[in-house]
Amino acid sequence: MDCPLIKTLFSKKIIHFWFYSFLTLISVSQVSAFQTDTTKIRQIVDSLFLLAEDNQWPEVLRIAQNTLSHAKDNYSYGPQDQSLMHSFAGDASLELGDFPASKKHYKLSRQILLDAGLSAIPAMARVLNKIGNYHLTNKDYEAALTHLEQALDVHLGQVKSDNLELSHIYNNLGIAYLNLGDFHQGLNYQQESLRIRSALLRGPHKLLAQSYQNLAQCYQDAGQITEAINAYDRSLGYYLDLGYTSGMVVADLYLNLGTAYYDLGGDDGLTSAIEFFKRALLHYKQEKNPIRSGIAVAYNNLANSYLQMGRTNEAFRFYELALQLRQEQYGQVHPDVAQSLYNMGQYHYLFLEMNERAVEYFTRCLEALNYQRYSENALSRVNSYPILLFALYYQAAAQFSIYRETLAQEWLEKASESFIQVDELLDFLRFRYEGLGSKYNLVANGHQMYDIAISVALEQRKVTGEQKYLHHALRYCEKSKGILLLDALQKSKAENFGDVPKEYLMEIERLERGLAELERSRYLVSENENYNSVEMDSLDRLIFTHQQKFEKRIQELGSTHPRYFNMRYAQPIPSVAKLQHDLLDHDHTLVEYFLGDTVLQIFVVNDDNLEAISIGLSLDFFEQLDTFNFSVRGFRSVGSNEIHKNIESYVRSARVLYQYLISPIKSLLRDHLIIVPDGKLGFVAFDALLSKPVEDLTAFKDHPYLLRNHQISYNYSASLLAEMRDNKQSKNLKSYLGFAPVFSDDDRKGLSPLLYNKEEVTIASETFGGKVFTDEAATKSNFVDYQNNYQIIHLATHGKVNVSQEDYSFLAFTQETTHNSDENILYVREIYNLPIEAKLIILSACETGDGKLFEGEGVASIARGFSYAGAQSLLATRWPINDKTTSVIVSDLLSNLKEGLRKDEALHRAT
């Protein structure tokens, strides 16, 4: 069976920190009679610090234990000093692999401070950070996160300025979030940790080297491989400058560099990866006490590399060696053991096609992750969410493959049950991740996993004849798309019905708006090639602080107002009955697509029936899909000698796509179509598909467009359609608001004058009444101030897509002379936080429906920004347009709306 997602999980070495600041760590007795004792303690701590820096952990442990055993008999010391000795003993025990002893010492270190009433001093923050670090080392990331967040609260409550202690807490929080799968939050904390260290440390320093290494891992998980390699190289440079040419530190770095080159891909990437893994392995083995955990990681990663090169026998041998070492070191329940079992399962499934053997390994992997499906708080006990997600997915895929081989229905049922668990875990992680990057990654993974889940559900329907499985398939399809947009609408609903005091919501809104403004400022600074690095650093710090305040406030609301929290993150998938009875008139058909790697699933919903059709896809389909999008979207830029060829390409691809996308369901379609595209289908103008062959290529008025037979509208998902329909706007909205900015020939952003936009909004206002802003009055500030009072908002202006930074695509307004040169630009990032209540937004501007495609989420366009903000429906463009033609179409559209026609019918008649 073809598998839509091949993910090889890598082991990377996470770098932890031991660091002591004597000016704040050492307590000095307030009683002068104990001055001699204080001096003695200081001497002991000084020696322990030097020994710890030199990694002489047995000696650190001996001195700390001796001090704890004999200090009371020979000299006096306070609770902070006693706590500190236990902290040193805990550090040494942890480094020596005696985890029970380490845990005991850290616990005593904390308890001594608690008993002395010192729960809110910097020393307590350090102890909590060390306990968090202990849990990181044991890969219990949930427990680590709990203690590290406590450490941060205590520290920030006592220390108001940046210091290295704060950077260590941020670093460890970054490690925890990264390993919980939230690389976006991990990256935020690592960047802030590095910022503090860079400001306080000069020249090559071990802490800076370690910071760059951890930062690189966040970049790597975010898919920014070049940035990761650059950060690893910078870390290596620091280590070499500091004299590190061998040992575990360099071995760890070589290991991580290898994983980055593996992710870079290609023959050169794999070759470099293997070289780095071998270097790491050599250094681990040359240690006085060989580092078994590092050796196991190197074996695991060599196996992954050999597997990609087709050297399967070598791969299997190294997988076995890694698994054996990890089980000897950690036992049966540990994320490293789980990772080895996962890789063995993937090896048997993908490369040997030994599916039952693969299922055995995946089952053992779940056990090693401490995943107990039916126990209380089962997911909270798991020690690695990313491994759990992929293990469940591949287990389900292997079970489905066994069913296809044997037709034994029990395996189909097992696959179905596994996908139910995948679905539950995806929902669980949606609640956990606040960072947009992490959410996009989760949605993309989910989209690919739902591919097989849909096939399983449809097969169950075929085998059993039960309609409920068809409903399950449609539900999976719905859960694969538009999730972040749905979250935005749910947030609005939660604010209205979540029983949260108004002042709380106002604070959250203030934080969101403040964050958007800071990010906008940072973007504008970054656009200047000669930007001030000090200003950029300041903005980065403010953004980080703002993000943490916002996310902490949301977490607090989760505890104090669970109804709000649950509504904010609920995913209300409408039932088929609701779709049929509440959303679809008899003449409407909802057509929802799921675009897999090899199969196109089409769901057709009418008010009285539901059908699903599966279409096998060839390479030709994807080629024609790209050809269609290129020929239509790039038509205006085609040279005169290429026009005929471009038209031929359009006609051929439009006909082929019609045969794939429409012909199989033609008999089920009614007059009005609501199309929910998927993946690259989001770029397709279905209206322009051709239902019949074309004889005269240039007779465009006579072409048999799909639009001739159907009135067509689009949505991101049926769930969003339901939420938008249910989204009740204010009853007191005025009729119409129009904007027609003026642009000069020398506009700095290359925005040429628009000749017909003023006429366009003037005619519209004559039809509907309302208010218009034209010329110098059509400013961004007027739009922001007035937009939430009108049913129809009409923007006849310029739009620009930013494919590389989708949140900074923009709409342009008239430049206000009293403001700087960018105050006329409304970025998508700003649109998100506008309280849009309009029933219709008309974006009479170029490219407002175009943008970057996010798998599972759709095209991140300007129009999508308005949907995110709450607009009920939108009219947008997919490519550059002529403002005269647009003026005529929009005028006819609004006239038709005035006559009482529905929006899709009004547009159909206008075109």
Which positions ≥6 away from 534 have C-beta within 8 Å? none
For residues 609, 612, 613 and 618, what is the CA-based torsion angle, rounded to 10 degrees? Answer: 150
DSSP secondary structure string, 259-279?
HHHHHH-HHHHHHHHHHHHHH
DSSP secondary structure string, 445-496?
HHHHHHHHHHHHHHHHHHHH--THHHHHHHHHHHHTS-HHHHHHHHHHHHHH
Q: What is the pLDDT of residue 498?
A: 55
Q: What is the pLDDT of residue 2?
A: 35
Which ranges constitute the DSSP H helices of 242-379? 248-264, 266-286, 292-308, 312-330, 335-346, 355-368
* 71 phi, psi to nearest 5 deg: -60, -45
**560, 567, 592, 569: which is closest to 579 by C-alpha?**
592
Q: What is the pLDDT of residue 235?
A: 93
CA distance 843 to 831: 13
For residues 522, 528, 531 and 537, what is the CA-based torsion angle, rounded to 10 degrees? Answer: 20
- pLDDT, tens digit, 9 for 90 and up, residues 196-255: 999 999 888 989 998 999 999 999 988 899 999 999 999 999 999 998 887 788 898 999
The answer to whether 792 touches 735, Cβ cutoff 8 Å, is yes
Pairing verdict, β 672-676 and 588-595:
parallel
Q: What is the pLDDT of residue 722?
A: 78
Rg (CA), the chain: 31
CA distance 769 to 778: 17
3-state class percentages of the chain: helix first, strand second, coil last, to nearest 5: 65, 10, 25
Q: What is the pLDDT of residue 731?
A: 65
- How is residue 101 written in tokens? 């002893």
Chain centre to alpha carbon of residue 172: 20
* 609 phi, psi to nearest 5 deg: -160, 160
Terminal C-alpha separation, the chain: 45
At which residue do the structure tokens 């790039």 appear? Answer: 634
- How is residue 259 written in tokens? 């994983």
The answer to whether 308 touches 283, Cβ cutoff 8 Å, is no
The answer to whether 163 touches 21, Cβ cutoff 8 Å, is yes
CA distance 577 to 608: 9
**794, 878, 909, 898: which is closest to 842 by C-alpha?**
794
CA distance 749 to 541: 29
* Paired residues of 115 in beta bridges: none
Burial class (CB in 10 A: 0-12, 13-18, 19+), 715: buried
Q: What is the pLDDT of residue 5?
A: 39
pLDDT along the chain (911 residues), means of 10: 42 50 31 50 85 86 87 65 90 88 93 90 92 89 90 89 91 90 88 92 89 92 91 92 84 92 91 94 85 90 92 93 93 92 94 94 95 83 88 97 96 97 89 70 86 96 95 92 63 60 77 80 77 74 80 74 64 83 90 94 95 94 92 72 86 95 96 92 92 89 91 85 66 87 75 84 87 92 91 89 81 73 82 84 77 66 80 77 73 83 78 68
* 429 phi, psi to nearest 5 deg: -70, -30
Burial class (CB in 10 A: 0-12, 13-18, 19+), 62: middle
* 625 phi, psi to nearest 5 deg: -65, -45
